[in-house]
Homo-oligomer: A and B are copies of this chain.
């Protein structure tokens, strides 16, 4: 069942990769909600701390990478803000 946790973590983590690629290619992020990614990034940070304290390895691994990807999306949202 740990395997399912890893699979879940891999999916919800790599999910952000096509989003990062799409914004990078189109240079447009206007339909991306800034509020969504601010809340999401904060939440993922808390999931990471929760995972560490609960010693839940899939939660830790998934959220560490998701945190980096969501920070990239926030950066893109800021970088391409003129396209709003």
Task: Give me the interface of A with B, judged by CB distance under 8 Å.
Answer: 1, 4-5, 7-19, 21-23, 26, 28-33, 35-40, 42-47, 49-50, 53-54, 56, 58-59
Contacts and interface: CB of A to CB of B under 8 A. Distances in A.
Given A31-B23, A31-B29, A43 B10 contact: yes
A33 B40 CA distance: 16
A27 B12 CA distance: 25
A18 B46 contact: no
Copies held by the complex? 2
A14 B39 contact: yes
Contacts of A59: 59
A5 to B, nearest CB: 4
